[in-house]
Structure 1
Amino acid sequence: MTARTPLIVDVDTGIDDSLALLYLLARDDADIVAVLSTAGNVPTAQVANNNLAWLELCGRTDVEVAVGADGPLSAPLRTTEDTHGPQGIGYAILPTPTHRPSDRTATQAWVDLTRERPGEMVGLVTGPLTNLALAIRTDPGLPARLRRLVIMGGAFHHPGNTTPVAEWNISVDPEAAAEVFAAFSAVPVDRAPIVCGLDVTERIVLRPEHLRRLAELSGSTPAETIRSDDAPSTRSVTSNPVVRHLSDAVRFYFEFHRDHGQGFIAHMHDPFAAAVALDPDLAQYRPATVDVETEGRITRGQTVADWFGLWGRPPNARVAWDTDPDAFLDDLVGRVAAFASTMNQSARRDPEV
């Protein structure tokens, strides 16, 4: 049997977070122990509802969903409904979930799970680092108990996507990011966080053709066609519910990128980070000492990497530098299509699934 990697997944769901969750659910080597909700793309309560709804749609009400911080450590919360839609999932309208979040907070879940399974848990953060920073404040020994931490965030030799120098997740809560990187300075470099920044994630470009192929492989009909000249907010009519909701979510992301002069595409930052959490060999890395600017008038939220030891501090991160985007996207499409097909078959056998 394939060894399963136990995962703590901390998200601000989010269109690309949604696909990251589906991708992890599709992998038989992923054991999602908890999904933690943090404010970022949309407020925390909406993030938690999105997480519950996706998990219930996929028949995984056994996965804990915990509610995290309502906003950054010290700054006002900024959200980005213009990028991800009013509910954070584009045009998708998911069935209202019937199960509820767990009684413990996301902060407590980070602490409890790493104490219960020291050296086993892999952490994946695809939103702001607020929950993890609060957990480390509560328990400074937490970094040493993680088997691996993968962060989607930052930009190094690449422009920011929120300010000229800052990436969204780090920009929302720079203080939290700075605290997390500082805390991991105490762990060996081979346990340092893997950082999937825009330098690599903006090469993960999803196109309408990928969704057409995903629908075809899942057996969904009619063919899924998404065109740039479709009427605004056109909804999918394909038969597979997972594919249909995913298409409705991603269409919004295509339109956002088009309207901002990037083409009718969608950068899928978070699914790539999810894949790296399970298989770090997907990318090549450069060790660095990473810090975050929290005071700059025009550079707040910038991730700064010391590649050459000029600060005299040991490396505290492995920055993803290269990958094969086409190979990853083929894997993503194939796995999610197979999962969607399986879910559809289950629904036909049991209408309540």
Structure 2
Amino acid sequence: MHSVLMDVDTGIDDALALVYLLSRPDVRLHAITCTAGNVGARQVALNNLALLELCGQPGIEVAIGAEVPLEIPLVTTEETHGPQGIGYAELPPPAGAISARHAVDVWVDEVRKHPGEITGLVTGPLTNFALALRREPALPRLLKGLVIMGGSFYYQGNTTPTAEWNVSVDPHAAKEVFAAYRGLPEDKLPIVCSLETTELIEMRPEHLRRLAEAAGTDSPELVLPEQPEGQRSRSSSPLVACLSDAIRFYMEFHRLYDQGFVAHMHDAFAACVAVGRTEFSARLATVDVETDSPMLTGTTVADFRGLWGHPPNARIVSGNNPRQCFDELIGSVGALARRLGSR
């Protein structure tokens, strides 16, 4: 059984990552902590509570943490993920309540209670995790492991020419996190899923069609580039309809920026990595984050050759298998949708 503590800024690809983890019978989602990023932290929490209820698992704790980055103003990205963070999807207001605990308390208390058992998965800015490290510097040793979606290394950024979104939202937090891991044993170093491999996880219309087939829906799920923008799903599966409406928005966004009618599922890949269900290779590196230069703030730099003379502090994913990853996502999420049934 994999025990995962997930920190998110949900987010379309965060939503698929969350649903995927909920679909796995061998995964215990210990808690979900929320940070501001794609949308504000409170909206993130509401998205997570609604998704838990949609997936029939409403009892998991959802806690809000940092609502602004450590040192710079918050920038959100509704143009990428929609006004509520989940594209065109519309979920009813959740019945569940946001936890009274702060996200930092969740991280510190739960990892202290379960040393060596919990894998951390951070698919948003690293603000909550950096604050938790300030409270408990031993967190890297107390965790079983940590998977981060973030950064781009000698690869074009998706927010500035050199910076990836999650890191650019709070570069100071990312810098603190990587510094905290310097010199730790290799098996404790974070696995970093950065743009050069997460952008290979391109969700296409055929993947949504296959998802509906795996869910056993009564009609094909067709999300096609020639259809009107904003067209809503009529799927008999509420879960398929939700994901289809969210992902259509994401595909339209990518097309707007000349990337094709696709959706990069960065966070879903990181979730598969966190529970050992997808193929990947990784390289040791010493990572630092630029926080001073106005033009380069948020740039992640990896020293693969030891030129800085500092010990490694990260394992950067250098290769993956998108076909196998999508087989895993579609099979598992489709099976969950089938179990949940039709409307």
TM-score, scaled relative to structure 1? 0.95
1:185 partner SS: coil
Which among 126, 133, 136 is matched to residue 136 of structure 1? 133
Q: Partner of 2:341: helix, strand, or coil? A: helix
Give per-residue Cα distances to partners, 1:123-148, cap 9 Å, x unaligned: 00000000000011111111110110
- Residue from 282, 286, 299 that aligns with 2:279: 282
1:292 pairs with 284, 289, 292, which one? 289
Match of 2:324 in 1: 327
Q: CA contact under 8 A between 2:278 and 2:328: conserved in structure 1?
A: no
What residue in structure 2 maps to residue 209 of structure 1? 206
Mapping of residues 148-163 of structure 1, within 5 Å: 148-163=145-160
* In 2: Cα distance, 1:227 partner to 1:278 partner: 32
1:174 lines up with 2:171 in the alignment: yes
Residue 226 of structure 1 corresponds to which residue in structure 2?
A: 223
Runs (4 or more) in structure 1 with deviation over 4 Å come to none
Structure 1 portions without partners, runs of 5+: 349-353
Measured after TM superposition, the shift of residue 222 of structure 1 is 2.1
Q: Which residue does 1:255 correspond to in 2?
A: 252
Q: Which runs of 5+ in 2 are unaligned?
A: none
TM normalised by structure 2 equals: 0.98
Q: Which amino acid aligns with 1:286?
A: R
Shift in Å, 1:187:
2.1
Contact 1:148 1:192 (C-alpha < 8 Å) held by counterparts:
yes
1:110 aligns with 2:107: yes
Is the 8 Å Cα contact of residues 279 and 324 (structure 2) preserved in structure 1? no
Partner residue, 2:299: 302
Q: State how far apart, in whole Å, the 1-side matches of 2:327 and 2:3 are.
A: 24
1-structure distance, mates of 2:21, 2:205:
21
Residue identity in the other structure for 1:283: F
What amino acid maps onto 1:35 in structure 2?
I
CA distance in 2, matches of 1:131, 1:258: 32
The separation in 1 between residues aligned to 2:118 and 2:235, in whole angstroms, is: 37
Q: Decide which of 73, 83, 99 is 2:70's aligned counterpart.
A: 73
Whole-Å separation in 2 of the counterparts to 1:282 and 1:66:
31
Kept after mapping to 1: 8 A contact 2:133/2:139: yes
Task: Measure how far apart 1:183 and its partner are.
Answer: 0.7
Which of 5, 26, 31 is equivalent to 1:8?
5
In 2, Cα distance between equivalents of 1:325 and 1:59: 28
Amino acid at match of 2:300: T
Please say if residues 57 and 95 of structure 1, whose CA atoms lie closer than 8 Å, have aligned partners that are also in contact.
no
Instruction: Tell me what 2:270 maps to.
Output: 273
- How far is 1:282 from its partner? 1.9
Q: CA–CA distance in 1 between the matches of 2:35 and 2:169?
A: 11
Query: What's 1:97 paired with?
Result: 94
